[in-house]
Chains A and B, each alone.
Chain A
């Protein structure tokens, strides 16, 4: 489903990704771990198409398509979803307006009929209930005044509404209390399955207890330096990243 080949990225004149190779098959969940500043979010931004985070070398195939040639919205409509490490606050735009615009953009891109306000509301309420989130979320301005944990939950809510085929979750587990972590993990697990894949960026083993990954990768200094099964996460939790650091 996703194949990243020799991906290089320079951000602000600084080489950040220096030859990333990664392949995710439909149905799998992969975890990416690695020290602060190693380039995890950069990788997520390159995949989502953020300006200033272009690939200088390498390519990314998504469902056989050249992902990097698409605009961010085209990627999203093709089923790519990025849960932001730092979700953006948008004053003046209601969460419901924002989500309905997004859901309908994807639907019309697929040639489907747009959801009416009523149908959207019904769908949104069901998803909110599953995520044990309050309905008032819909009326609030996008992420404005949300607590850190609420912002992360709002990302999962959006993911649930958009039902992406490939979800990239950038530290969605950071800053969550124990109950919220379970809810987020449930949200992830609900989308897990044939035809969908996930790339979960995390610093902690904890999330991976609930959402057991098929593969775990270590990103250090812009490269995947090690890959393994779920036990790799447990090992990293104990030993840290010292062995991957050139400075050590």
Chain B
């Protein structure tokens, strides 16, 4: 306890150093929110594996090394190094952030249709703070309810840290019925800043008003050095009948730490298709919280985690069916090689009034080496009788019989293994509806696979 308090004090001191330099200091609600957030973090400290929701994420690397707070980077990231991550030529708006800060020189925002705003956190705090105010404050009521009846702020400590320090990020707003061609691609690059690794806190907000359609693609890449940490928060809000496709690639160099937390709020008749592929960072956690707040919401949430070497990948999801006739389909698949560890902890809660809900959850893990490990904890919490729910979970090796069958037909052992791994993961990639993004994930997976045995 005292050790943790001590560590979090470092962050309180740091906060006091920078608070006056953060954007939006003139906004009283924001000042209050930030003060509350740093207090929240100071009280809780970094989540440890003793916090149930953080059981499989170990942040000791960050806690011990105390990375510095990232600043607007002076580091020369050039466009050429990023091009391999660009989507195939198509109408596409691209925002690039280096260590959490927007880099207009690397970004490309084309002509925007009326009603679409693509902006940064800093600019939005200047010219449209009410949009942020409406969405930033409501994260506070997400604290976990414990059996004791108390709500526990510990699982949200990293979100609080982000709220305290967030200085930049993407803010995307779509007016009613606006539906831009092509995706909005947000690229976050981690780099070293001088000697010491840095911690960045990008904070993004996507708001689609009723009937709007948006495709958002977040890509996290780069090498920020050993104790680098991206602590990203992305909030998505879909109005009535809106439709949002939200993709994420967590592909930072296999040395850093990635903590991502997505908060999705869905109004009636809206559709949300979420997809996350992780193959990066040493330690990563992709947390997704989805709330089907009104009737008739359709939600799909898919995940792929590809772990090798010493990587630790944690996937934590929480989906709340809060209103009638919501539909969720969640499929997470992990391929874990060498001495890596992959985990899935996912809860779907169907609230008492959420009648006629349909919720399905599946987590499957493929272990490619005897040292690889997986943990799987799917969970359905159903608080009314009028629902259709199912969940499943598997952890297994490549099927020996299938391997032999393929080899008996002349397919070499390595090729046979690849064919089976491809079959395992491929069906999830095939669900990506946007062709250039599906191709991006396909290529990514193929190159990961070509390095596997």
Residues of chain A whose beta carbon lies under 8 Å from any beta carbon of chain B: 48-51, 71-73, 75-77, 82, 84, 87-88, 90-93, 97-99, 101-102, 105-106, 109, 158, 162
Per a CB cutoff under 8 Å, which of A49, A71, A91, A98 touches B409? A98
Contact partners of B416 in chain A: CB under 8 A: 73
Contact partners of A98 in chain B: CB under 8 A: 406, 409, 411, 419
Find out whether the CB atom of B409 lies under 8 angstroms from the CB atom of A102.
yes
Find out whether the CB atom of B404 lies under 8 angstroms from the CB atom of A162.
no
Residues of chain B whose beta carbon lies under 8 Å from any beta carbon of chain A: 399-402, 404-413, 415-416, 419-420, 422-424, 426-427
Find out whether the CB atom of B402 lies under 8 angstroms from the CB atom of A72.
no
Contact partners of B407 in chain A: CB under 8 A: 49, 71-73, 76
Find out whether the CB atom of A105 lies under 8 angstroms from the CB atom of B413.
no
Number of A-B contacts (CB under 8 A): 73
Q: Measured between C-beta atoms, what is the minimum distance from B431 to chain A in Å? A: 13
Find out whether the CB atom of A72 lies under 8 angstroms from the CB atom of B423.
no
Q: List 27 A-B contacts (CB under 8 A).
A: A49-B407, A50-B404, A51-B404, A71-B413, A72-B404, A72-B408, A73-B407, A73-B413, A77-B410, A82-B408, A84-B405, A88-B404, A88-B405, A90-B399, A90-B402, A90-B423, A92-B422, A92-B424, A92-B427, A93-B419, A93-B422, A93-B423, A98-B409, A102-B409, A102-B411, A105-B411, A106-B410
Question: Which residue of the partner chain A has the closest CB to B407?
Answer: A72
Q: How far is the CA of A71 from the CA of B412 in the complex (A)?
A: 9
A sample of 11 more A-B contacts (CB under 8 A), given A76-B410, A92-B422, A93-B420, is A48-B408, A71-B407, A72-B408, A88-B401, A88-B402, A90-B423, A92-B423, A92-B426, A99-B409, A101-B415, A109-B410
Find out whether the CB atom of B400 lies under 8 angstroms from the CB atom of A102.
no
Q: How far is the CA of A13 from the CA of B408 in the complex (A)?
A: 24
Contact partners of A51 in chain B: CB under 8 A: 400, 404
Find out whether the CB atom of A91 lies under 8 angstroms from the CB atom of B408.
no
Q: How far is the CA of A91 from the CA of B420 in the complex (A)?
A: 9
Q: How far is the CA of A92 from the CA of B399 in the complex (A)?
A: 13
Question: Which residue of the partner chain A has the closest CB to B427?
Answer: A92
Find out whether the CB atom of B415 lies under 8 angstroms from the CB atom of A105.
yes
Question: Which residue of the partner chain A has the closest CB to B402?
Answer: A90
Contact partners of B402 in chain A: CB under 8 A: 88, 90
Question: Which residue of the partner chain B has the closest CB to A87?
Answer: B405
Find out whether the CB atom of B409 lies under 8 angstroms from the CB atom of A158.
yes
Contact partners of A102 in chain B: CB under 8 A: 406, 409-411
Per a CB cutoff under 8 Å, which of A49, A88, A101, A158 touches B419? A101
Given contacts A71-B413, A102-B410, contact A90 B405 (CB under 8 A): yes
Per a CB cutoff under 8 Å, which of B400, B410, B419, B427 touches A73? B410
Given contacts A88-B401, A88-B405, A90-B405, contact A101 B423 (CB under 8 A): no
Q: Measured between C-beta atoms, what is the minimum distance from B375 to chain A in Å? A: 24
Question: Which residue of the partner chain B has the closest CB to A102?
Answer: B409
Contact partners of A88 in chain B: CB under 8 A: 401-402, 404-405
Contact partners of B406 in chain A: CB under 8 A: 90, 98, 101-102
Given contacts A71-B413, A88-B401, contact A76 B408 (CB under 8 A): yes
